[in-house]
Structure 1
Amino acid sequence: MKKSKDDIIFEAVNTFFVTVFFIIVLYPLIFVISASISDPSLVSQGKVVLLPKGLNFDGYRRVLEYDDIWIGYRNTIFYTIAGTLISLALTLTAAYPLARRDFVGKNVFVIYFTITMFFSGGLIPTYMVVKALGMRNTVFSQILLGAVSFMNIVIVRTFYQTSIPEELQQAAQIDGCSYARLFTSIILPLAKPVIAVMALFYGVGRWNSYFTALIYLSDRNLYPLQMILREILIINEINMEMLMTEGELEVIHKRVELATLLKYCVIIVSTLPVIMAYPFLQKYFVKGIMVGAIKG
């Protein structure tokens, strides 16, 4: 079909803006990668603009020798897996009764849950509750707090209502299927697309989370990777053994340059798993947008 003049103009404008946004997103990533393997003195002087100069992998060597990085990796992997499983269990089970027409009083629960999207108990009351329950400085404060998002419950409920025929559920119940078996044997297998979407959303959120650790953890052995990254990037509390050798003790400028190099290296080390996984999971982001497009 021949394109009209308006179509050509629209495609040209659209291509221009997409290209600009692509460059805006891609450039910082390329710069951080280049800076992490460049000579720190050239980075400090602003001579590294796009491509690396004076290849130097000393920053990665020092980062990987830093024990807290590996402790943070271990904790973050555990928090991500355990927290995502708990969030999935709560979200999938909460959305199912809200999706059924025969659930008496579901509108009351919807209103009750909706209120939590606009109001919360506040940081101080939440901290007092966590402390009273004995969850401060425990892994439970990292995997239980914020385990459920009502927005995700709405998305899953919409998927149940629009993608799983109600007649199928009625036929199963006529055959004597209980609610529990109906949910585990019929609903969940048919809900694999939305389960993948929710796992991705919750998993990425858990991986990037640091605020709950900042508030409720003081034991460094429980710190997630993002807390270690925060210390290096913001507080700049880097172990002196990581920064200096005997020859560098007398050269403060070298220490500053090396600290800058380590910051870039830590960014790459902490985000590498997500960057590597994203190309394989991109389609689920698209599915997530489509699943949540209608929230009736």
Structure 2
Amino acid sequence: MTVDHQPIIGFIGTGVMGQGMVSNLLQNGYQVNVYNRTRSKAEPLIEKGAIWRDTPQEVAENVDVTITIVGYPDDVEAVYLEDGILDAAAEGSIVIDMTTSSPQLAESIAEAARKKGIAALDAPVSGGDVGARNGKLSIMVGGDAEVYEACLPIFQAMGENIVHQGPAGAGQHTKMANQIKIASNMIGVCEAMAYAEKAGLDPDTVLQSISSGAAGSWSLSNLAPKMINNDYAPGFYVKHFIKDMTIALNSAEKMGLLTPGLSLAKRLYEELAESGEGDSGTQALYKKYKEQMHTV
């Protein structure tokens, strides 16, 4: 990092994840400039001391490190290559995309940044809104090792399990592996809970036995209780999970890798979204199983 002071941070995208991430940066003493397409979503952060900027370019030109976490790969491409983060950021500054996005796009951004004397990292996260609020995100980083080391204190303000995975794109490839695992696991969690209910068991009691054994997983421990209580509020949107699975499936196909579990999960979630659940949390997949339980 080329600054001799605590770096000034820019943060673009203050949605479900960004809210908690920026809050933790502020709590750790960082000055944070923020931008979001809908300003109202940034107001709670402005009240906490974040500085509002009117455009992504205005954020980038006033900070040492620009962080983005937006919705889709098209949004990432637009904010870096069309809306001008890389045109506005100073030579010697750092950009970090924490969106779950395409590994190939991460490589393209890193190359475009390098030509302008800007360092770029791809650093997608896992842990949902709870992890973002509590500063316990898992952060998977791709890019130059020295830049990663320079940014480690920033990452440590937002997460706990922080691993440098390799060169540009490696963070996104790791997130794809993460999402592939979650995709099939969510089917298993739903089917296990549906089976327990159909067998006349108490689902909470079943969870006591299976959540800490070989079947244990974050999804089982954190999302199955929400399924049982008909709580489908989003910690992570169905529509964004479909986006992630689409990226993962496309990337796997390019490598000639068969992923039947991923393909099945994507189809089920697409059916769920078509029924109007795109803005629900990923645990809403359980609704499909409950419908089946009542019709069989």
TM-score (norm 2): 0.21
More strand as a share of residues: 2
TM-score (norm 1): 0.21
Greater relative contact order (Cα < 8 A, sep 6+)? 1
Please say which structure displays the higher CA radius of gyration.
Answer: 1
